[in-house]
Each structure stands twice: as structure tokens, then as C-alpha cells.
Amino acid sequence: MLPTKHTTLTQAGTVAAMLVLSACSDTKTPNDANFRKALEPMVSDIFCRTIPIQRMSLNDGLTQPFPIIVPVAPVEGADPDDARSRTLVEEAARDGLLTRTELNAPAKRADFTLPLTRQALISYTPTDRGKAYFRPVDAKTSSGMRAFPGVCAARGEIVDVVRWTDPADALGRTVSQVTFTYRGVEPLPSLPEDVRSKITQPEERTVALVRTSDGWEAL
């Protein structure tokens, strides 16, 4: 028996709906949802930076980002930003974002091949409230990417995916230029009001996203 017109139209509509749903669920499709997913990890840390502070290590292994351990007396020849970083962690401790602990233990300059010598130290560990602001941040070193103690002025949030270019070939990879707006939410409590106000205002940025087998990711 031949299908009726009603049956044919219904089947056609079902097929069309399935195609639309398939396109929407394909992570490689250039659309708002897929680009937003690729941008979110980068944007969440957009207000984070490493803390340039001269750290001490209690062992011969690779120094972990936290706790931040520093000598009571600043190390001679430390980075010029060391003093500002010390002020930052002291203020954070007063605000309840870091737990400040004084100790006396064998230690050496972090990442230096030196003997351990007993000395007066201060340790700073993020509190539960402080973990949103003081957390590991990856940075490039001569031996590759590595995690360092970091501070985040705010948590980055995508406001809108504004526009994107049609995917095009670039050196053998499929790339799209994506423009989006972002802002900072839940700013660091100690920030001056003018800085807090600036961070929370939407900013526009354009980045290149490359299509992979799993979807899109930032170059």
C-alpha cells in the first residue's frame, strides 16, 4: 500500500527535526553554545596572575603552589615585586582569605639546589573562602607549563558571544575568529572601588578558536 500524503509529510518533518537536533548537539558546529563552552575555561581565569614572591621549600622536591612559604626576612636579591606580593598576602590573611602560620623549620629557596637550613618562616594557606581567589595558575617556564601560586582579582564570566567568522583553513587547521564580551564577578574584597568598578564592566575581546575532533578550543 502506498503511503498517504499525511504519512509522508510526518516522516519528512521527523527527519528534519532529527537533522536539526543532530546539528545542535554536534560539538564541532560553529554556534553560540559550542563557542561558549570553549571560551569558558579561558575566561574564568582571565583576571588571574601569578604571584611574584620568593618562596621557600621544606624539601628537595618540586615546590607546590600552596602553601606559600616565605622567610620572615626577605631574601637578598629577590624580585622587586616581592615586597608588593608580601603586602598582598598579608592583607589577604587579615581579610580571612589566607591562614598565616609562623614556623621554624629547615628550608631552602624554592627550585634552587641548596642545603636545607633551619630558619624562621611564614606560611600562607588559602582558607575555604580564599580558594576562589588564591589558587594555582599555570605559567610558561623554560621546561614547559607549570603551576605557580596565583591570585584572581575576580572570576571571569562570559556576558555574550557577539559574532564569529565562518570557519576557514589556516595552516591545515579549521579556525574561526570569535568575538565575545566578558566581565569579572565576585571581585577580590581588598580591591579599590575604582578597580572593582572597572572589572565588573563588560569588555570585548576577539580570539581564534580551532576546531578539533572533540569540538572547539582556544589557540
Single-letter code of the amino acid located at 121: L
Confidence of residue 59 (pLDDT cuts 50, 70, 90): confident
pLDDT of residue 92: 96
Average pLDDT over residues 74-97: 88
pLDDT over threshold 50, residue 4? no
157 vs 190, which has greater pLDDT? 157
pLDDT of residue 60: 74
Average pLDDT over residues 172-196: 95
Please state the three-class secondary structure of the chain as a single string.
CCCCHHHHHHHHHHHHHHHHHHHHHCCCCCCHHHHHHHHHHHHHCCCEEECCCCCEECCCCCCCCCCEEEECCCCCCCCCCHHHHHHHHHHHHHCCCEEEEEEEEEEEECCCCCCCEEEEEEEEEECCCHHHCEEEEEEEECCEEEEEEEEECCEEEEEEEEEECCCEEECCEEEEEEEEEEEEECCCCCCCHHHHHHHCCCEEEEEEEEEECCEEEEC
pLDDT of residue 1: 47
Confidence of residue 25 (pLDDT cuts 50, 70, 90): low
Q: How far apart are CA 90 and CA 207, in angstroms?
A: 36
pLDDT in tens, 95-140: 999 999 999 999 999 888 889 999 999 999 999 999 999 999 999 8
Of the ranges 9-18, 84-93, 111-120, the best mean pLDDT one = 84-93
Q: What percent of the chain has pLDDT over 90?
A: 72
pLDDT over threshold 90, residue 190? no
Q: How far apart are CA 134 and CA 151, in angstroms?
A: 5
pLDDT of residue 6: 47
pLDDT of residue 113: 84
pTM listed for this prediction:
0.79
- The residue with cell 589556516 is 170
pLDDT of residue 186: 94
pLDDT over threshold 60, residue 21? no
- Average pLDDT along the chain: 88
